[in-house]
Amino acid sequence: MIDVAHDQLFAEIPFVENPVYEKIIHDIAFQQYSIIDDFFSSEIVSHLRQSLVAKHEDDRFKKAAIGNRVNEHIIKSIRGDQILWIDEKKANLAEALFFTQINDLVSYLNKTCFMGILHKEFHYALYPKGTFYKRHIDTFQNDDRRKLSFVCYLNDQDWTPENGGELVLYLDDNGVDTEKVIYPFPGRIVIFESQIIEHEVKVVETERLSITGWLKTR
């Protein structure tokens, strides 16, 4: 009979560095954004895509807004995507796996960088052909608790740059304005500082699918 005290067994659970999370932390510290390909497995991405498409066919998406007192015509000249918020408590299997990974990332960020992320919110987004989202900042009219913006692309495996819909980050590289062009390849995630980075979604030539969300402080 092995007689090991309960405390001894559980006292020293070693901290294991996660190289992907470390890259995100390093990138954000040094350039305020991070791009990770294959953050989610292709199975999860494909299930999330199917889930998005099914809910969209169910007519559950709404035209995205940009704040109160702005009429629809003006909104269309700023952004043309349709969105559906995802309720973690009612998550289907694909969404539950998505949130498992998000929650793991959040607890890592809070543990290692004291980021103080207490809330999060995510929505599906569908950009029909011909739509875009003009240059903006995510905390503009919305929510100054937004700390990190998070986008995960759910497009088909055969997505090509000709399909448009690039995410462009407007960066200040030591006083020099630079544009970082990011293609929305499936499985790719982009994380950036919500309060700092202006960005835009270029005109989409083929329906463009994603999940967008924010990690928020109190």
Which residues fall within 8 angstroms of residue 72, CB to CB, at 6 or more apart?
Answer: 63
Q: Which of 150, 154, 212, 215 binds ligand OGA (CB under 6 A)?
A: 212
Which residues fall within 8 angstroms of residue 207, CB to CB, at 6 or more apart?
Answer: 126, 127, 128, 129
Q: Which of 64, 138, 171, 192 binds Mn ion (CB under 5 A)?
A: 138
Q: How far apart are CA 156 and CA 176, in angstroms?
A: 35
Is residue 210 close enough to count as binding ligand OGA by CB under 6 A? Answer: yes
Least Å distance, CB 95 to ligand OGA, is: 18
Q: How much of the chain is in helix, strand and coil states, percent to nearest 5?
A: 30, 30, 40
Is residue 151 close enough to count as binding ligand OGA by CB under 6 A? Answer: yes
Is residue 167 close enough to count as binding ligand OGA by CB under 6 A? Answer: yes
Binders of ligand OGA in range 80-119 (CB under 6 A): none
Contact at 8 Å (CB) between 212 and 151? yes
Binding mask 12-51 for Mn ion (x = CB under 5 A): ----------------------------------------
Query: CB-wise, 26 or 134, nearer to ligand OGA?
Result: 134
**Site residues (CB under 6 A) for ligand OGA?**
125, 133, 138, 151, 167, 199, 201, 210, 212
